[in-house]
Amino acid sequence: MAKDVISLRLQEVRAQIASAAGNRSVTLIAVSKTRPVEDIVNALDAGQRVFGESRIQELRKKQEALAGDPRADEIEWHFIGPLQSNKAKQIVRSGALVQSVGAVRHANALQKSAEALGRMISITLQVNTGREPQKSGVLPETFATFLNEVQTLPNLQVRGVMAIPPAGDDPREHFGLLRTIADEHELAVCSMGMSGDYVEAIRCGATHVRVGSAIFGSRS
């Protein structure tokens, strides 16, 4: 996508975030999955520094492609896709904040790799607020137990929670539930809201929003 279009769209999204957030700080995660590296460079030119990817192979290739860019070290990567235990070492090596930890086995795999590599990694725990069987994440009523188990893993730092409301539902109910869970457990990060509903998510207390098509256009 053209540089000026990405810049304009980022300005528009940031303006909407500022209007909805009031005096709160909200982090915009530009979801760059499936987008060419050129789009990320154009977003960097427009001041964006936080990006989200859903496939670790794609994330690592983009990190390699951007290695020569003087702004590469300023980028904060978020891994927002489904986790696979056999990809844990690659995810840890990427240095990304892992947003989609929704099972103990995945947390254990990340811990094993992080310990082997001598690293600490930040994560958020995925909550299946819509109780969808095809979706990752723990149910709200089991979150406290899940959190306690993950917090025993020394190389993982739980920073907060994330959720993706079911398509077709009023997302505000799910956003409110996730915000309540974050507050009850004194977790700072509440990652919720995407291109179609990030304004509502912010009004419900989101600290991070994941916005792709509103910045980079619809995926083909």
Mean predicted confidence (pLDDT) in 76-80: 98
Average pLDDT, the chain: 97
Cα angle 48, 43, 30 (rounded to 5 degrees) comes to 60
**22, 96, 198 from 11: Cα distances, Å:** 16, 25, 15
**pLDDT band (50, 70, 90) for residue 218:** confident
| CATH number for domain 3-216, candidates 3.40.640.10, 3.30.450.20, 3.20.20.10, 3.40.50.2300 | 3.20.20.10
What is the rounded CA–CA span in Å between residue 31 and residue 96? 13
| Spatial CA neighbour of 186 closest among 141, 151, 155 | 151
Mean predicted confidence (pLDDT) in 144-172: 97
**pLDDT band (50, 70, 90) for residue 89:** very high
Mean predicted confidence (pLDDT) in 151-178: 97
> Other C-beta atoms within 10 Å of 197: how many?
19
The answer to whether residue 219 scores a pLDDT higher than 80 is no
Token pair belonging to 169? 């539902």
Mean predicted confidence (pLDDT) in 47-72: 97
Quote the pTM value: 0.96
Token pair belonging to 174? 């799910």
User: pLDDT by residue (tens digit) across 158-168?
Assistant: 999 999 999 99
